[in-house]
Amino acid sequence: MSLSKETNHPDRTYFARSLQRLEQDVLRMGTLVEESFRLSHQSLFARDLEMAKKIAPLDKEIDRYYRQIELDCATLMTLQAPVAQDLRLLSAFMQLVRDLERIGDYAKDLAEIALKLFAYTPHDCMSEIEAMSHHAQYMLATSLVALADLDQEAGPKVKELDNTVDQAYDYLYHTLAHQRDIKGVVEPILLMALLIRHLERMADHATNIAQRVSYIVTGQRG
C-alpha cells in the first residue's frame, strides 16, 4: 500500500517516507487486531482459556499503535502542509485506526465472556454463533487485504457480507430472547446475547474499514 510519492524536494521526500512508515504501522496494527480476534474466537468456541489470557497484553500493544498513529497523523497534518490527497489519506487513517481499536476492544470483551461461559454447558446456539464469528473475521481479513492493496471495490463487497452477519444477529437474538423453560440461572443467555451484539459491532467496524479504503482511493464516501 502506498499513495505517497517521493520527489527531489527534501520536505516532500521526508513527508513521503513518513507516510510510508505510517502506512506500515496501520497494517501492523491490523495484524494485531486480527490475531486478537482469532484468540478470542478460540477462547470462546474451543473453550481454550489459555488463549483468552493472551489477549490483554495484545490489546495494550494495539492501543499503543492506535495512540502513536493518531499522533503521527496529527503531526504530519500540522507540520508538513500536506496536499489534498495526503490530507484525505491521513484523515481516513485516523478514522480507520479507531475502527481497528474498537474491534480490538470487543475481542478483549469476548475473551471475558469466554471466561464466564466456561462454567456452563455449551448452548445449542453456540455453533451458529461460531459461524457468525467466522464470518466477521473473514470480513476483517478482507478489509485489511483491501487496505494493503488499496482495493476500492472492497467497500460494496464487505457491505454485502455485513448483511449476512446482521441476519445472523437478528435470528440469534430472537432465538435467545424467546428461550423458554430455562433451567437454572439465565446468565449464559445474557452473555450470549452480549456476545452476538459484540460480533455484530465488530462486523460493522470491518465494513467501515473497507469503505474508508474506497474513500482513500476515490475521494468519494460510500
Q: What is the CATH number of the domain that holds 58?
A: 1.20.58.220
| pLDDT score at 144 | 95
* Total number of domains in the chain: 1
- Do residues 84 and 3 lie in contact, with contact meaning Cβ atoms separated by under 8 Å? no
**55 closest CA partner among 113, 98, 96:** 113
C-alpha cell at 53: 489470557
Ranges in the chain, pLDDT < 70: 1-12, 80, 181-184, 222
C-alpha cell at 167: 441476519
Kindly provide the b/e burial profile for residues 42-56, where b requires at least 16 CB atoms within 10 angstroms of the residue's own CB.
Answer: bbbbeebeebbebbe
Domain for residue 168, yes or no?
A: yes
Domain for residue 2, yes or no?
A: no
Domain for residue 1, yes or no?
A: no
Domain for residue 15, yes or no?
A: yes
| pLDDT score at 14 | 80
| pLDDT score at 77 | 87
- The CA distance from 26 to 205, in Å, is 15
Domain for residue 61, yes or no?
A: yes
- CB contact set of 84 (below 8 Å; sequence gap of 6+): none
Domain for residue 3, yes or no?
A: no
| pLDDT score at 171 | 97
Domain for residue 126, yes or no?
A: yes
Residue whose entry in the numeric block shows the C-alpha cell 461461559:
117
Domain for residue 167, yes or no?
A: yes
Which residue segment(s) compose the domain that 126 sits in? 10-218
- The CA distance from 193 to 182, in Å, is 15
